[in-house]
């Protein structure tokens, strides 16, 4: 099975600062998904990466999948209080049942004004 | 608008009682999933179903049961055999087709508390 390690476990930053969250896999990644969750709510899809070296951006959030496809990073530029929440990475395993994702434990982000 | 609904949002149960959590989707997705989320543990897969009338155990299926009689519905029953059922439960669905294949769409969740 796929194992995903997220770091850091929690992050507290001042508004306006940049930050990076990492997601490292025990195996080659075939489809890496980033989600955001507010406490007590469902997960909201952010971005999906499939190819080594791929990079995608949405507003101030950029996600990358490294060339060897075993690590992804999520970078937030000029953080705002609206970025606060739990960020989770999820990955498909080539050998797993189609559609099944394995998730990391999440990174709790707090942004203070 | 298409999406996934879960009900109820909050559920309280006495020890020894079974309780059923509802999950409905109108996205025409074939696959549906149930996850349990505990603080600091991320999402753990309970059961999943890729097609009507078929489902498989996930990583923590003990004490839970599901059914998939309709494509749109995937209810989860938390039985009295589940030793520590207090948690946040999330339902999701996906399809291998489309521009983001296998992206999982999540419902708003049900928080279950055992008294």
Contact A40 B41 (CB under 8 A): no
- Does A45 contact chain B (CB < 8 Å)? yes
Q: What is the pLDDT of residues A26-64, one digit of tens each?
A: 888 878 999 999 989 999 999 999 888 899 998 899 999
Distance from CA of B61 to the nearest CA of A (A): 15
DSSP annotation of B70:
B
Q: What pLDDT is attached to residue B108? A: 97
CA distance B40 to A104: 10
How many separate domains does chain A show?
1
Q: What pLDDT is attached to residue A106? A: 95
Q: Domain range holding A92?
A: 4-112
Q: Which helix (H) or strand (E) holds A19?
A: strand A19-25
- Mutate one of B29, B38, B39, B42 to test the A interface: name it (highest A CB count within 10 A): B42
For B39-61, the DSSP string reads TTS-EEEEEEEEETTEEEE-SS-
Q: What is the pLDDT of residues B5-59, one digit of tens each?
A: 999 999 999 988 999 999 999 999 999 999 999 987 889 999 999 999 999 999 9
- Does B110 contact chain A (CB < 8 Å)? no
- Does A51 contact chain B (CB < 8 Å)? no
CATH number of the domain that residue A25 is part of: 2.60.40.10
Q: What pLDDT is attached to residue B102? A: 80
Q: What pLDDT is attached to residue A97? A: 53
Q: What is the pLDDT of residues B72-107, one digit of tens each?
A: 999 999 998 888 999 999 999 998 777 777 889 999
């Amino acid at each position: 099975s796929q194992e995903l390690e997220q770091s850091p476990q929690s992050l507290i930053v001042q508004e306006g600062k940049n930050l990076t969250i990492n997601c490292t896999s025990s195996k080659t990644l075939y489809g890496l998904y980033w989600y955001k969750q507010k406490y007590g709510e469902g997960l909201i899809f952010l971005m999906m990466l499939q190819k080594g070296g791929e990079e995608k951006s949405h507003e101030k959030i950029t996600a990358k999948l490294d060339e060897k496809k075993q690590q992804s990073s999520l970078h937030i530029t000029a953080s705002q209080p609206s970025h606060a929440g739990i960020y989770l990475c999820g990955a498909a395993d080539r050998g797993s049942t189609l559609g099944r994702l394995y998730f990391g434990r999440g990174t709790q982000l707090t942004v203070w004004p | 608008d298409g999406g996934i609904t879960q009900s109820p949002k909050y559920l309280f149960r006495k020890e020894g009682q079974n309780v059923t959590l509802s999950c409905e989707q109108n996205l025409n997705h074939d696959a549906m999933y149930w996850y349990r989320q505990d603080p600091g543990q991320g999402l753990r897969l309970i059961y999943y179903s890729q097609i009507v009338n078929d489902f498989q155990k996930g990583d923590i299926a003990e004490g839970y049961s599901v059914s998939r009689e309709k494509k749109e519905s995937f209810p989860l029953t938390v039985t009295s055999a589940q030793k520590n059922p207090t948690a946040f439960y999330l339902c999701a669905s996906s399809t291998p087709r489309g521009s983001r294949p296998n992206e999982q769409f999540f419902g708003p969740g049900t928080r279950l508390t055992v008294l």
